[in-house]
Amino acid sequence: MSDVDAAKLPVMLNALRLPTIGRIWQEFGARADREGWGSARFLAAMCDHELAERAARRIARHMAESGLPHGKTLATLDFAAVPTIRKAHVMALAEGDAWIEQGGNLLIFDPSGTGKTHLAAAFGTAFVDNGKRVLFTRTTDLVQKLQAARRDLALPGTLAKLDRFDVLVLDDLGYVRKNQAETNVLFELIAERYERRSLMTTCTQPFSEWNQIFPDPAMTVAAIDRLVHHAIILELNTESYRQKALHFGQPLECIA
């Protein structure tokens, strides 16, 4: 290779947005010369590295935008503490592909214990690792944002922007009793994503108690129908994890 080519390469690779190749081609080029690689092998090695780093950068970007809490992963989830769910089932759901492509929902109920947020975040993190885009938010925070958007006559645009997320995680759906305006935007979101984009929710109250969270019975029934129609439902129903950790006489960190 001429010195002129070598001098031009950084500029050309930069213009083509191939920063990884720009960083490694000299080292790999020297090795290829030394070991007598053919041109196809050299080029394939360059492309492999560029693609791998591009995927890693994309995942890092998606993780940063997701709002997912750190450290709440399937690896740190103690499955023994949630005997009502099977690890194999959770791992299969975490692969995600089929039900997320079909806009299915995942609803996590947990009437007594703890672990909802951890499990939801663990699923979300696994989806991001598998190349999906996820937004994790407390339901009340998102409802406030949607109400502000409605006041600014920007609700359709805001809902459309949420479409870029394959999975929207609404943590603590029933945390506070909602007024009519809050219920309206929440149900508009549910209707908007129905059969197109996935929702994951965590909730303490079973459906039978949703009339205490939402003031409008007709709307509540309609929302439950849409949420449940293509849904996987997980019920944790465990003893509080925090209490359990104390039973064992260990600080929570040792187990988590």
Q: Choose the contact partner of 78 out of Mg ion, ligand ADP, none; CB within 5 to 8 A by kind.
A: ligand ADP
Closer residue to Mg ion (CB): 191 or 233: 233
- Would you count residue 24 as binding ligand ADP (CB under 6 A)? no
User: Taking CB under 5 A as the criterion, which residues in 117-176 touch Mg ion?
Assistant: 117
Cβ 245 to ligand ADP, closest distance in Å? 8
Stretch that binds ligand ADP, among 33-41, 51-59, 73-81, 98-106 (CB under 6 A): 73-81
- Sheet containing strand 167-171, edge to edge, reads 134-138, 167-171, 198-203, 105-109, 231-235
User: Taking CB under 6 A as the criterion, which residues in 90-129 touch ligand ADP?
Assistant: 110, 114-118
Cα–Cα distance measured from residue 90 to residue 172, given in angstroms and rounded to the nearest whole number:
20
Cβ 138 to Mg ion, closest distance in Å? 9
Residues that bind ligand ADP (CB under 6 A): 72, 76-78, 81-82, 110, 114-118, 241-242, 256
